[in-house]
Amino acid sequence: MIAEKRKLCFSSSFLFFSLSSHRAWCTAGSASSSDPWEWWNQVRCMCGHNGQLGVALELGPSLPSEAEVRRWYGEPVRAIVVPVSVFQTNKRGFPALSKAHQAVLVSFFQLNVQVRHICVV
């Protein structure tokens, strides 16, 4: 499947499959829905709510409402993907995340979600 980039906090989703002792990450997006949670819910329903299916969310430059973020707390989020484009330069010239992005990551850290960083060269 091909990822569709959106200007939301969760711009595309990554499906997580656990097959026996093997794990697979598949990038996926939705052309039919502008709401990533609705897309995820459709996929989950088509797979019969399989417990081995999870999702990774990609953090985008702009954040959705707090209610939209909280909706993901009850889902099997396995990872948050943080692309390099989300980072800003701080006063000392180092890459940093905005306070709002940090708050979203901290909320998912408390749920033991992994963070993956995508570096584009």
Q: What is the 3-state secondary structure (H, E, C) of the chain?
A: CCCCCCCCCEEEEEEEEEECCEEEEEEECCCCCCCHHHHHHHHHHHCCCCCCEEEEEEECCCCCCHHHHHHHHHCCEEEEEEEHHHCEECCCCCEECCHHHHHHHHHHHCCCCEEEEECCC
Residue type, 73: Y
pLDDT the model gives residue 85: 87
61 neighbors 7 (Cβ within 8 angstroms): yes
In a domain, 5, yes or no: no
Count how many domains the chain has: 1
4 in any annotated domain: no
The answer, as to whether pTM is greater than 0.75, is: no
- For residue range 53-109, list pLDDT tens digits in order: 888 888 888 888 899 899 999 998 888 888 888 999 999 999 999 999 999 999 999
Residue 49 belongs to some domain of the structure: yes
Determine the pLDDT at residue 44: 85
Whether 1 maps to a domain, the answer reads: no
CATH number at residue 44: 3.20.20.150
Do the domain assignments include residue 48?
A: yes
Does a structural domain hold residue 91? yes
Average pLDDT of the segment spanning 103-121: 81
Q: Whole domain around residue 64: which residue ranges?
A: 10-118
Give per-residue pLDDT as tens, 21-34. Answer: 556 666 655 444 57
Please report, as a single letter, which amino acid is at residue 62.
S
